Amino acid sequence: MQRYDAVIGGADREPVETMDVLDPSTGAPFATLAVSGADDIDAAVQAAHDAQPGWVATTPAARGRVLRRLAGLITEQREELAQLESRDTGKPLKQAFADVDVAARYFEFYAGAGEVLYGDTMVTSPDHFAYTLREPFGVTGHIVPWNYPLQIGARTVAPAIAAGNCSVLKPAEDAALGPVMLARLAREAGLPDGVLNVVPGYGAGAGAALAEHPGIAHLSFTGSNEIGTVVTRAAAANHVPVVLELGGKSPNIVFADADLDLAAPAITNAILQNAGQTCSAGSRLIVHRSVHAELVARLTERFAAVRIGAGLDDPDLGPLISAKQRDRVESLVAGAVDRGEGTLLHGGGPPDVLAGEGFFYQPTLIDDVDPGSMIAQQEVFGPVLVISTFDTDEEAVQVANGTDYGLIAAVWTANVARAHRMARDVRAGQIYVNTYGAGGGVELPFGGVKKSGHGREKGFEGLLGYTQLKSVVVRL
């Protein structure tokens, strides 16, 4: 089996410890991965620190050329990277190809954006000239999850290094092969040694060491609320700013005048993409009572037609990432059914045909759910859609805002005025009207409110977040 090592200072680092990498579609190992620890994090931070003065002195245009070469190499290796991402995460191959394409786009976008990172001038008085500079933090740390390892890895490090920072990326132990390949391609693209270091390992080991490292000047974390709190506390000890992209319980809000032909497939995809293992998954359906029966009938038919299978076979729905995650989803759904929190219309367990052959779970539809119940409030992180009804616009807003989360939301209506009112009143970082999800959305600022996190990634806002603003005043 091929071994994937940490990449530190441009070189593969011989691991002290390794772990098996399991294919979620079979549960069988197919590769080995380095398990990094505190010493490896120290080495990676030092390599980034050593590289940063030279990298920030490189012109933005020269930095952009390197990032464009990296984007080109990702595209050239599209087939290999997609196959690897699909096998590592279990996601259908078409979704893995989309992840590779978006990863390349991040480096392409920030290659250009980094070249137009300007400050401002200000008139303060006739005898003074004032201006601002945007400067990198120095060494940035990045902790990314297992659901989109390559795409989120690119999303977080591309703006950081475009702005002149040097980065240490810690991918999740459940899926880290894409980020390791990214570091190898960066080396091939001519990125100077130490600008991007990738250090896989367990959260309690490498992740904790990175979050609390005094050499880190900025930290980004994507993952659960629980671990986000731990990471924030660790970073606070060093007064390090943190960008958090955490969980979600994102709603599709469907009004009586909605185009159900448009809404039904989008709602289905919003919860089944990546087996529902997406922070921005559309895990709640809030539907007007008058169209509830028709929409639910359409969704039940669609859920029943879903093809389940191994990621490399490119089904509609692949497995969950691990047996642990499958068991968690199964427990949450079983608990909701036992407590009478809703009516199970479809799914509710692993498919019989694939039992024992991976970490599969059926697409699950739960109707008549009380918006205050646990299954409507808690992030399941699986292919589970819960359905509630409403009668008035005010009630729809109340239900939509009735969780601790606020990542994204979608409004389905033909009424333009209503769409804008809902966009104003629903608390979420992104609002979609008659569509759902970023669709790649590299250019769109992304992030949450409430317990979905703070700070913004993607777009030009994501680049600005990796800079510090300095004001300069000159007496004339």
CB 52 within 8 A of CB 384: no
The sign one gets for the Cα dihedral 151, 205, 326, 335 is: negative
Crossing angle (nearest 10°) for helices 177-189 and 60-76 = 130
Q: Are 235 and 137 in contact (CB under 8 A)?
A: no
Q: How many CB atoms lie within 10 A of CB 338?
A: 8
Cβ-based burial of 115 (10 A; exposed 0-12, middle 13-18, buried ≥19): middle
Best CA proximity match to 207, nearest among 335, 35, 86, 346:
35
Cβ atoms of 58 and 162 closer than 8 Å: no
Note if 166 is an active site residue.
no
Query: In one letter, which amino acid is 427?
Result: R
- C-alpha separations of 231 from 36, 121, 159, 176, 364 in Å: 18, 37, 21, 19, 32
Give the phi and the psi of residue 284 in degrees, each rounded to 5.
-125, 135
Tell me the CA distances in angstroms from 62 to 118, 166, 249, 435, one per residue in order.
16, 15, 42, 38
Q: Which residue out of 173, 245, 330, 457 is catalytically annotated?
A: 245
DSSP 207: I
Q: Which two tokens stand for residue 366?
A: 């739960």
Q: What angle do CA 92, 281, 98 make, to 5 degrees?
A: 35
Q: Note the Cα 49 to chain centre separation in Å.
A: 27
Residue 245: active-site member: yes
- In whole angstroms, how large is the CA radius of gyration of the chain? 23
Length of the chain: 476
Q: How far apart are CA 476 and CA 474, in angstroms?
A: 6
Of 108, 173, 212, 279, catalytic: 279
Contact status, residue 222 vs residue 156, Cβ threshold 8 Å: yes
| CA 123 to chain CA mean position, Å | 41
Q: How far is CA 108 from CA 115, 154, 253, in A?
A: 12, 11, 34
Q: Distance (Å, rounded) from C-alpha 265 to C-alpha 433?
A: 15
Catalytic machinery residues: 245, 279
